[in-house]
Structure 1
Amino acid sequence: MMANLFSSFDPLSTMGNLSLNWASTILAIFFLPYIFWAMPSRASILWSSLMLTLHKELKILLGASNPGGTLVFTSLFSLIMFNNLLGLVPYIFTSTSHLVFTLSLALPLWMTSMIFGWLNHTKHMFAHLVPMGTPGPLTPLMVLIETVSNIIRPGTLAVRLAANMIAGHLLLTLLGNTGPSFSKTLLPILLFSQFLLLILESAVAVIQSYVFAALSTLYTSEVN
């Protein structure tokens, strides 16, 4: 029995000094090798078409100046989506519901793009701090606002992903804990509502992966 509602997010399973919960992050790797030696299946064809479509979308956002940059963001999308979907499987730890994981993805991408931009495109980065058409007296205020909004970008990316994963899992946990107190007549309604919520969470898992990758691409494209 859970000590509290949030105990399902506690990374407690360990063997020695190795945290087995965080090891679930690399489970996605075991789904990939069969693509290279097995005959193409419907799942592999669907996955290839999804990656190709995502590559075309991110290529438009990133621009023609960095044609190979989409590889980073499609890989990021794959990693986040696999972890989001695996977190819906019972007894598998959801690493994307923790800020330590989401922030470790968002912060290095943002920091490297900022360092690259300020070192190589300094005037372009200064121009981003003042939007076009800003009145002269408002320029210092706009520089302050743009600077703050730029600094909090990795935090907003990390919090958005973690909050969406936590919210869905909490709803599933709440409905699951009320099952023993339900009568037999109301139990089918509970199971049907959990099934619908599980479908919704699967869609949210994919959508949040795309949002994270797309926003990271947009933030990176601003430094070119």
Structure 2
Amino acid sequence: MMANLFSSFDPSSIFSLSLNWLSSTLMFLIMPMIFWMIPSRLIMIWLTLIFSLHKEFKILIKKISYKGSTLIFSNLLIFILINNFMGLFPYVFTCSSHLNFTLYLSIPLWFSFMIFGWFKNTMHSLAHLVPQGAPNTLLPLLVIIETTSNIIRPGTLAIRLTANMIAGHLLITLLSNTGPHMSSFMLSILISTQLILLTLESAVAIIQSYVFSILVTLYSSEVN
């Protein structure tokens, strides 16, 4: 019996060492040695994925010189995606369900965009606070609204990813705890339901990593 609803997300530890972030390094154990040594089919799949993401982010940035921006956002998507999938394995803590983890991703990116935009494209950043064609009487209110929405962007990015990852994992955990008290027939239904939820969580892991990276790309395109 759980002590509370969120006890399944309590940090695990061995010898007083926190294991919360261990899942971020487990991907290096999954990748075979051939991935690091010579070209292989796995590398071809990886390059195909990187090139596809590059084309996707290139359309959003709308700049002739990308200077590695698409590579940064592609790696960000893959990093979040791997961490999301790691949480689907038994006894593995999902880093992306921790608010500290998602805030450490969103705040530095957003802060760097703000510094770049306000120092290099000051007039463009000021004009972005006022929607085109807005009446003069509403300009002070619109500036306050746009400034507030801009400030809360890293928080909404982090909370969106964290909430979506916690919701599915929490539902799977709660349903799993009812298994020992069920009959064989109900247990078979529960297993089928868990498989459906696991498939849904796999889709959520992909979608949320894509949404996070796409929104970060859109925020960077606004300051250019």
Q: TM-score, normalised by structure 2?
A: 0.93
Counting matched residue pairs gives 222
Q: Which amino acid aligns with 2:24?
A: T
Q: 1:72 to 1:138 in 2, by over 3 A?
A: same
Partner in structure 1 of residue 26 of structure 2: 27
**C-alpha distance after superposition, 1:19-66 (max 9, x if no partner):** 12222222223445642325523x544333222211110111112242
Partner in structure 1 of residue 211 of structure 2: 211
Partner in structure 2 of residue 190 of structure 1: 190
Deviates more, 1:160-169 or 1:183-192: 183-192
Q: 1:169 to 1:120 in 2, by over 3 A?
A: same
Partner in structure 2 of residue 111 of structure 1: 111
Cα distance in structure 1, aligned partners of 2:196 and 2:39: 33
Unpaired stretches in structure 2, ≥5 consecutive residues: none
Partner in structure 2 of residue 81 of structure 1: 81
Cα distance in structure 2, aligned partners of 1:29 and 1:151: 36
SS in 2 for 1:185: helix
Where in structure 2 are the equivalents of 1:17-166 lying within 5 Å?
Answer: 18-32=17-31, 34-37=34-37, 40-41=40-41, 43-64=42-63, 65-166=65-166
Cα distance in structure 2, aligned partners of 1:34 and 1:214: 31
1:182: how far off? 1.1
Contact 1:11 1:22 in 2 (8 A): no
Partner in structure 2 of residue 14 of structure 1: 14
Partner in structure 2 of residue 180 of structure 1: 180
- Once superposed, what is the RMSD of the aligned Cα atoms? 1.6
Q: Which amino acid aligns with 2:215?
A: L
**C-alpha distance after superposition, 1:150-205 (max 9, x if no partner):** 00000000000000000000110011011111111111111011001100000100
Q: 1:199 to 1:73 in 2, by over 3 A?
A: same
Contact 1:28 1:82 in 2 (8 A): yes
Q: 1:55 to 1:122 in 2, by over 3 A?
A: same
Cα distance in structure 2, aligned partners of 1:29 and 1:96: 18
Q: 1:131 to 1:29 in 2, by over 3 A?
A: farther
Contact 2:34 2:40 in 1 (8 A): no
Deviates more, 1:197-206 or 1:67-76: 67-76
Contact 1:59 1:67 in 2 (8 A): no
Deviates more, 1:2-11 or 1:187-196: 2-11
1:130: how far off? 0.2
Unpaired stretches in structure 1, ≥5 consecutive residues: none
Q: TM-score, normalised by structure 1?
A: 0.93
Q: 1:66 to 1:38 in 2, by over 3 A?
A: closer
Cα distance in structure 1, aligned partners of 2:9 and 2:202: 18
Q: Identity of counterpart residues, as a percentage?
A: 58
Q: Which amino acid aligns with 1:56?
A: K
**C-alpha distance after superposition, 1:91-126 (max 9, x if no partner):** 011111011000000000000010111011100000
Cα distance in structure 2, aligned partners of 1:20 and 1:77: 23
Contact 1:86 1:94 in 2 (8 A): yes
1:67: how far off? 4.1
Cα distance in structure 2, aligned partners of 1:161 and 1:107: 14
